[in-house]
Amino acid sequence: MDEASPTGEGGTALLLPGQGSQEVGMGRSLAERRPAVAELWRRAEEVLDVPLRQICWEGPGEELTRTENAQPAILLHSYSVWRSLPEALRSSGAVAAGHSLGEFSAYLVAGALDFEDALRLVRRRGELMARSREGTMAAVLGLEGDRVSEVCAGVDGVVVPANFNAPGQVVISGEAEAVRRAGEEASRAGAKRVIGLDVSGAFHSPLMEVAREGLAEALQDVAFRDPDFPVVANVDGELVRDAGGARRRLVRQLTSPVRWVDVIERMRSLEPDRWLELGPGRVLAGLARRIDRSLEVVTVGTDEDLEGLDTA
């Protein structure tokens, strides 16, 4: 079985950020104050042969933002936070989800992947995506997802919805000219703003097909286990409890939209007692509030955040 029904048993819902949440200085306070985290960063540099501490803590920002660097950096930071959580919180994990790259982090914290394998996978994923430099992306604000899908379908060329992030917040992706025309049509259809994104390619679109093939090969070389608790998949908002379902969905994810609204709604159906965002930034906490104003997501990314964490 690829999925499980909601249990309504409470516990902790974990959100793992994706690319774009990186920032210079990320993870430094954790590594400087926690020897176990410092060892994780040392091991990561050894595994990847990349100076992640220098890139993440000193920059420049352009180097950190490179897709092949940002992806392992964010996964490493999120996992550092997870490993630093009090045992009572770690043992209360009930469901996890990550935005795009963050879905790999979700499987890592859920015990489906080994740390070193996860690092190699997301570094490879980043390299493959960086090579697929064709196309671009844009955020469409103030227009609902169904209408954005209709706009994209009516434009010649490759352009598709890539992220259904929140009501009235959809990212489109594809060939540069098609994205431009879709943005113009979206504005005529009532979008409040269309904002071009500074990205190196058309992520979550058919233009990622070459990267998808390479990722499928990389995933076949990695040992996957059934996760300790379910992970909600980006591609369909379903709960995944088995290794096979995880592999298939991670491959599909590269060329499919991130259905984040569906993800959050599925997590809500489990009625978790608390929500935590683990890693850099507060993007997912903000999106969760836009999806459901009643959701209170605590962001945990620094040593100070951990010290102030309520474990009751």
Closest CA to 239 of 214, 265, 220, 216: 265
Q: Are residues 55 and 182 in the same domain?
A: no
Final residue before a domain boundary, out of 175, 196, 217 = 196
Q: Are residues 255 and 115 in the same domain?
A: yes
**Per-residue pLDDT at 82 exceeds 90:** yes
| Residue 248 lies inside a defined structural domain of this protein | yes
In the chain, % helix, strand, coil (3-state, to 5) comes to 50, 15, 35
| Residue 6 lies inside a defined structural domain of this protein | no
Q: Are residues 86 and 167 in the same domain?
A: no
Final residue before a domain boundary, out of 176, 196, 216 = 196
pTM of the entire structure?
0.94
Q: Are residues 262 and 175 in the same domain?
A: no
Exposure string (b/e) for 49-82, b if CB count within 10 Å is 16 or more?
A: ebebbebbbeeeeeebbbbbbbbbbbbbbbbbbb
| Residue 5 lies inside a defined structural domain of this protein | no
What single letter denotes the amino acid at residue 68? E
In this predicted model, what pLDDT tens digit does every residue of 188-239 receive, in sequence order? 999 999 999 988 889 999 999 989 999 999 999 999 999 999 999 999 999 9
Q: Are residues 153 and 19 in the same domain?
A: no
Residue 50, domain CATH: 3.40.366.10
- pLDDT band for position 1 (cuts 50, 70, 90): very low
Output DSSP code: residue 22: -
Q: Are residues 23 and 162 in the same domain?
A: no
pLDDT of residue 198: 85
Q: Which domain holds residue 159?
A: 136-196
| Residue 201 lies inside a defined structural domain of this protein | no
Residues of the chain with pLDDT > 70, as a percent, come to 96
According to DSSP H, which parts of 66-205 are helical? 67-84, 87-90, 102-109, 115-131, 145-153, 176-188
- pLDDT band for position 79 (cuts 50, 70, 90): very high
Closest CA to 132 of 47, 200, 184: 200
Closest CA to 258 of 134, 161, 139: 161
pLDDT of residue 4: 39
Q: Are residues 232 and 153 in the same domain?
A: no
Q: Are residues 23 and 125 in the same domain?
A: yes
Q: Are residues 297 and 184 in the same domain?
A: no
Exposure string (b/e) for 221-234, b if CB count within 10 Å is 16 or more?
A: eeebeebebbbbbb
Residue positions annotated with a catalytic role: 100, 204
pLDDT of residue 273: 94
| Residue 241 lies inside a defined structural domain of this protein | yes
126 in the Ramachandran plot: left (φ > 0), alpha (ψ -120 to 50) or beta? alpha
Q: How much is the average pLDDT of 44-48?
A: 98
Q: Are residues 22 and 110 in the same domain?
A: yes
Q: How much is the average pLDDT of 129-150?
A: 94
Q: Are residues 167 and 232 in the same domain?
A: no
| Residue 159 lies inside a defined structural domain of this protein | yes
pLDDT of residue 9: 62
Please report, in angstroms and rounded to a whole number, the separation of the first and last CA atoms in the chain. Answer: 34
| Residue 4 lies inside a defined structural domain of this protein | no
Return the C-alpha torsion angle 124, 130, 136, 142, nearest 10: 40
- pLDDT band for position 312 (cuts 50, 70, 90): low
Residue 181, domain CATH: 3.30.70.250
Run of H or E residues at 194: strand 193-196
Number of domains in the chain: 2
**Per-residue pLDDT at 14 exceeds 90:** yes
Q: How much is the average pLDDT of 266-281?
A: 96
Q: Are residues 26 and 128 in the same domain?
A: yes
Final residue before a domain boundary, out of 160, 175, 196 = 196
- pLDDT band for position 250 (cuts 50, 70, 90): very high
According to DSSP H, which parts of 18-101 are helical? 28-33, 35-48, 52-58, 61-65, 67-84, 87-90
CA gap 301, 30 in Å, rounded: 8
Closest CA to 103 of 253, 243, 222, 245: 253
| Residue 279 lies inside a defined structural domain of this protein | yes
